[in-house]
Amino acid sequence: MFKKKKILCVIPARIGSKGIKKKNLKKLYGKHLFEWPLDEAKKSKYIDDVLVTSDSVEIINKSKKKGALAPFKRPKKISSDKSTSIDVVLHAINFLEKNKKFYDYIILLEPTSPLTTHKDIDKAISKLSENKKAKSIVGVTLNIGRHPYYNYTIKKNGLISPFSKKIVNLRRQDLPACYYLNGNLYISEVRYLKKTKSFYHDFTSAFVAEKWKSVEIDDQYDFIMTESIISKMNG
C-alpha cells in the first residue's frame, strides 16, 4: 500500500510463445523467466498483491508456491499471440472485483523485461503519485542511436521521403531528446485504465531507465545477452 492506495501487480505468463518454446519456463540465470518479475514484485514496499495470469497449470502452481495469487487458469481467448496485455490485465481486474477484491493502482510487469528491480518499481510508484496530472507511468529509455528525424521511408517509386516530414540539418547533439518505450513497467490508476483501456494517453508520465535495463527477451540471443548482464551485475 502506498499513501492508503492499494496496489496490485499483474504478471502475464502464458505457456505459448512465438520465438522460443515455453519461453516463460525457460531458465534465465537459474530462475524461470516469469520468476524474475515475480520475485522483484514480492520485494516491493508498496505492492499489496502479486497476481500471475497463465494458461499453464505448471506456471500457476509454481507461482502459488512463491506466494503469488493465481486464482484462475487464463481463458484460451486471451492466451493467443493476438491477445493484448490490456485484455489480460482487465480480465484479472474484473475477476478480482467480482470476488470483492479492489485496488487503486495496477502494475503490469512483463517476464520479457527481467531486469526491472523492486527499487525501480517503488520509484515509479512514488513518481506517479507525485505527478498530480498523471494517471499512468510507463518505462522509457533515451534513444541514443539513430534519431527519428534522420529516418526515411521508401516510396513505391523507389525514392525516399523523410519519416518525420521535416528534414533537419542539425548536429545530433542539437536535436531534441527522444525516448522509446522499453517495456520495463506499466502503472496506472485502475479507474483510468478501465476507462481508456490503455496505459498510454495524454496523462501518461515517463519512468526513465538505463539502456542496459531495457532488454526485451524475444529470442535466444536476448537470453544470452541478458545472462551476460546479470552475470556482470553479480560480480
Does residue 44 sit within a domain? yes
pLDDT at 167: 59
For 165: left if phi > 0, alpha if psi spans -120 to 50, otherwise beta; the answer is left
Beta bridge partners, 204, equal 136
Residue type, 178: C
Does residue 1 sit within a domain? no
List of residues 6+ apart from 24 with CB closer than 8 A? 13, 14, 15, 17, 32, 33, 34, 54, 56, 59, 111
Does residue 120 sit within a domain? yes
Q: How many other CB atoms are found less than 10 A from the CB of residue 1? A: 13
**Residue 229: which CATH number?**
3.90.550.10
Q: Which range marks the domain in which residue 102 is found?
A: 7-143+178-233
Asked if the model's pLDDT at residue 146 lies above 80, the reply is no
pLDDT at 168: 62
Segment 153-177 mean pLDDT: 79
Q: What is the spatial distance between Cα 151 and Cα 145, in angstroms, rounded to a whole number?
A: 11
Q: What are phi and psi of 177, to 5 degrees?
A: -65, 140
Task: Give the CA distances from residue 3 to residues 25, 49, 108, in Å, rounded to whole numbers and listed in that order.
Answer: 35, 16, 20
Q: Say how many domains are in the chain.
A: 1
Q: Which three cell numbers stand for residue 71?
A: 486464482
Give pLDDT tens digits for 89-126: 999 999 999 999 999 999 999 999 999 999 999 999 99
Segment 14-19 mean pLDDT: 85
Q: Report the mean per-residue pLDDT for the chain.
A: 93
Give pLDDT tens digits for 32-77: 999 999 999 999 999 999 999 999 999 999 999 999 999 999 999 9
Does residue 37 sit within a domain? yes
Q: What is the pTM of this model?
A: 0.92
Tell me the CA end-to-end span of the chain in Å, nearest whole number: 33
Does residue 11 sit within a domain? yes
List of residues 6+ apart from 155 with CB closer than 8 A? 161
**% of the chain exceeding 90 in pLDDT:** 79
Cell 486471451 found at? 78
Does residue 130 sit within a domain? yes
